[in-house]
Structure formats: structure tokens, C-alpha cells
Structure 1
Amino acid sequence: MEQLIIQEELSGKRLDLVVSLLFPELTRAHAQKLIKEGAVSVNEKPRKPAYAVTAGELLAVELPEPEVLEVLPEDIPLDILYEDSDVILVNKPKGMVVHPAAGHASGTLVNALLYHCRDSLSGINGILRPGIVHRIDKDTTGVIIACKNDRAHQCIAAQLKEHSITRRYLALAQGVIREDEGTVDAPLGRDPENRKKMKSGLPGGKHAVTHFRVLERFSAASYLSCSLETGRTHQILALCA
């Protein structure tokens, strides 16, 4: 059971919208379904999806258990940049999902790693994400580190948490950015108008920080080098949209 206090910026908004904003993994339709099933309460009382929340109210959400998927090894070619007995670094292509989820039960990087590494992957993240310490978006190309044992997994995870590993991305951003460099520090959440996208500056969004440097300017776009301080879902895509 997840419990949160409604903040002032969400006061007056519909309950189903608030739930979807505070829990980005839930679509608005899914939030409505949970509310109707009694899995959501406000001040310990069930409410309707259209209920207007008020600042200071206690929101409680019973999140559903994740769907159990069978993850099978698949003979999918991998662009391996480095590999030893502890880790494997793979250049993930655009269009490949990192780990299985609803709608993507096969063809993922995890399926490919299970075939390539056999039984030598860390078990810390369970059956759906063996060896996976971090992830990048489906349509993003970049380096993924997968760990072959729990000790390596713990060490790499600690380095990511301490920011001793630098993550940089090259991106095209819409518009011409005048500043040569800067920092975007804005809460990130699911775009209420397009559930497939994330959006910066949303009330109730998660803390997200991206440092950028302009490499080149074009007539209607800017070529950026982006360094992540946090690792939110679609963080770079939301920054560049």
C-alpha cells in the first residue's frame, strides 16, 4: 500500500488524474480501474474517479502485483563492447526493449543475454531483469552494463547511486538553445495528454536533473551533450521534446 499526502499544486484535480501523475507506471485508464475496484482511497474512504482532491488529504493506493512472465533465452545477435567474468557491456540498438514487460515478453535485451551468458547473470533483480543494473529507452541507442554475479551488480549499482559513473547522451533538441550550457531541474511525470510521453515541470512529478552542453546549433534544433544526475524514465526524451 502506497500512501502520499496531496500537495497544494494538485488540489482541485480529479482523483484519476492525480493517481496517474503520482504513479507514472499507471495509465489514467488503469488508475480509473483501480479506483472503481476500491484499491484507491482518500482519507481512508473510497472515492469516484472524478473526485476533486484537496491539499493535505491522505491518498492511499494498492498497486497491483506485476504480471508474471516466463523469460526464455533467445538467439539474438549482440553488439558486445566488452566482456569479462563479472560484467558485459552491450551497445543496445534502437527499437530493442531492455527487459520483458507487458506487451514485450520476447525480443528484449534480457532474452538475448540469457542466451549468450547462459546461467551467469546476477539474480538481484529477479527473473524479469537478471543482470540488469540500469536501462535506457526502447528507441535510444546506448551502452548497457549487465552483471554476471551479485557482487558485481552491487558494486556497479553503488557507483551509479554515487554518480561515480558518468552517463552521457548525444541528442537533438527542438529549437535553438541560446545558452552554451546549463541544467534542467524540473519534476518529471507522465504527460496527461499523451500517456506514451513524459513531460517536465508536472505537479507531483519525480525529481529529475539533466546537465547539458550545446555542441552545435541548427536553424530549428540544437545538438546537445547531456549528462544525467538522475535516471528517470524517458528523461532525455522529455528534455529534448
Structure 2
Amino acid sequence: MSAPETEPQVRLYVHPEGAEPVRADKAVSAFFAGEFSRSRLEESFKGGNVKISGEAIPKKRILEAGDVVEIVLPEIPPAEVKPVEIPVEILYEDEDVVVVNKPAGMTVHPGSGTGEDTLCHAMMHHCKSKLSMAGGAMRPGIVHRLDKETSGVMIMAKTDRAYYSLVKMFSERDMEKTYVALVCGVPSVRTGSIQKAIARHPDFRTKMCVCDDLSGRDAHTDWEMLESFGSDAALLKCRIFTGRTHPIRVHLSSIGFPILGDYTYNFQKNKMKKIEPPQRVMLHAYSLKMAHPVNPEKQIDVSAKPPSDFLNLIKVLRETANL
């Protein structure tokens, strides 16, 4: 499914009275700087779509004061995500939604610096391009995201009716999402609740941080310790109640238990002396429980076993716990 085609843009440039004569390409590039790229304007010249009095002009044409230049800009090709055959584990699927087990290391949707190896590319192939485009052609089916390094359960919309219903459900937190995390250190209690506001970090725009209630947005994470590994690490089950960026990672770091491999949020290699420190964030979206977004009488209740690197790390932590 492609995004709608866009009409060519037609713009006029008038060389001002009193201005010095200048080459046409330099004049229009300077005038439209920040609005159109040089390459797009170059295409207009090459295609004979830069004209004065209806006649095409070369880019070296010298403009005189009062010259009226008509520029027809080339169409921008419609942005779309092409289907790419990449295996992804399907946990649940019907005509409206599909629930997947996203692999660690896979980006959810295209963006700056990504290739054709995102979850969206994979799911466009699996669903034969039948994903909702309500969120934009470059984010087919996407209602929520997992970080690139985070693995686990993620639901996607195949129809627009499912998309809008899911947006409402996520906004109202009308579902139960459970994660498991391996953290550095061992809490002194078995359970805890973290209710601290989260905001964009003032100095590092790619990070989040806890802050006061006035400058941030409320965030709530509950956690339970499932297993401890000596005094070095612990396995926690976490549930989030608010939709924020990096809530579990930020909250656990804020109480002194950063997730193993989370170098963005204060994990330090020298804290783990008995094992080889992991190279990724050891966080896994374990389960999702919710009413079906289109058929509320139906329940979606799925879970995904953590990936092999996560399970192998647990095994190593158990083996080294008493060394």
C-alpha cells in the first residue's frame, strides 16, 4: 500500500529591483534555502522546468532585476515501507491485529540511518502489506514501540479500526504489560513501586531522566524480584502503568539498580567482575494482556520467552553467584 502521490509544486521567484545580476541557479537556491534541497532544484533545471516567459532557461542564465522565474519542482516520491522477507515470531494474529515477538537489535520502524531491516519491513511482508497506515506510511501498523535493544511482545494494527482503538487503549493504559529485566545489584526488599515523573534530559536530548512533577510527566513502575544472583545481580518482573520513553530503564537506574548492559542509564562494566558484561540492554517485554481492540468480549493474552542471550546470561549468573 503506497502513500498518496503528491502534485508537483509551482513556485515563482522575482529577481528584486536594484539587485545585482546573478546566475539563475544561485539566485533560486539562495531564495529557497531551507525550503527545498539543491538537488531538487537541480532536477527542475535539468528537466526544463525553470522558465522565464514560458521558455526554459539554463541554470547559468544571468537574471536581471525584474525577471520573473517560474519553477516547477519535481514530485517527491511517495514514502513507503517495502515488504522484506525477514523471519519474525508471530504470537497471535487475526484480521485486525498481529502480535509479534520482536528480536533484540531490530529497529521498529524506519528513521534516520536505518535500512530495510526494520520490524515494519518484516511485517509488511508477513501481512502482505495489509497493515494500517493511519499512523503514517513510514510507520505501518505501529501503535507503540520497543527500543531497538529490547526484545519481546509488541502488538501492531492491521486495520484502521484496530489502530484507533489501540491508540485509545494505550492512552488510557487499558491493558497489562509485563517486562523482565536483569539488573545490577540486589534490592533489599522483594517488591517496590516507583512513581517519579520523567522528562527529557536537559543536557542529553537522547536520554530521559527523573525530575519534579512540574517539569516532567507522571510515570509509574511496579517491580518484583523473581531471583537474585549472590549480591551481583537480580531478575526483576516489572509492570508499567504510564506510556513514557524508557520508563523502566530510567526508574530502575534512579533507585540504584540499572539494567545490565544499559550504558545509557548508568550501568558500569566494572560492577560485574565475575561475568562478561552484556553488550545490550537486558530488558524483555514478557507479556501483554488486554481486551481485543475490535471485539472487546475477546481477550488477547500472550507471552514470549526471553531470547537465548537473556537466558544464557541468567545461567551464567547462577553458576557464578557463589564464586
Q: TM bucket by the smaller chain?
A: 0.5 to 0.7
Q: By how many angstroms is 1:207 displaced?
A: 2.4
Structure 2 match to 1:87: 97
Partner of 2:270: none
Q: Could you tell me how far 1:145 is from its partner in structure 2?
A: 0.6
Equivalent in the alignment of 1:232: 244
Verify: 1:78 aligned to 2:88, yes or no: yes
Output the CA distance in 2 between the equivalents of 1:192 and 1:106: 33
* Cα distance in 1, alignment partners of residues 203 and 233 from structure 2: 24
The aligned residue for residue 129 of structure 1 is 139
Distance 1:197 1:91, change over 3 A: same
Deviations along 1:151-195, one digit per CA (max 9) or x if unpaired, are 112222232233331000001222221222221111223445655
Q: How far 1:200 sits from its partner (Å)?
A: 2.6
Alignment map for 1:41-60 (pairs within 5 Å)? none
Moved more, 83-92 or 158-167: 158-167
Q: Which amino acid aligns with 1:220?
A: D
Aligned to 1:63: none
CA contact (8 A) 2:88 2:103 kept: no
Give the one of 99, 112, 116 matched to 2:126.
116
Amino acid at match of 1:116: H
| Matching residue's letter, 2:237 | S
**Which residue, 164, 177, 193 being the options, matches 1:183?**
193
Can you give the 5+ residue segments of structure 2 that lack an aligned partner in the other structure? 1-33, 35-77, 253-257, 259-323
Secondary structure of 1:167's match? strand
**Which one has a bigger Cα radius of gyration?**
2
Q: 1:237 to 1:108 in 2, by over 3 A?
A: same
Moved over 6 A (4+): none
Indicate the larger mover: 83-92 or 185-194. Answer: 185-194
Following superposition, the deviation at residue 217 of structure 1 comes to: 2.4
RMSD: 2.3
Q: CA deviation at 1:147?
A: 1.1
**Structure 1 unmatched ranges of 5 or more:** 1-36, 38-67
The change in CA–CA distance for 1:69 and 1:207 in structure 2 (over 3 A counts) is farther
Maintained 8 Å contact 1:214/1:222 = yes
In the alignment, structure 1 residue 206 sits paired with structure 2 residue 217: yes
Structure 1 range deviating more: 190-199 or 203-212: 190-199
Q: What TM-score results when the alignment is normalised by the length of structure 2?
A: 0.50
Matched residue count: 175
Query: Aligned with 2:105: secondary structure?
Result: coil
Aligned-partner SS, 1:76? coil
Give the Å deviation of 1:117.
1.3
Structure 1 residue 196 displacement after superposition: 4.6
Aligned-partner Cα distance in 2 for 1:196–1:123? 27
* TM-score normalized by the length of structure 1: 0.65
Q: 1:174 to 1:194 in 2, by over 3 A?
A: farther
1:144 aligns with: 154
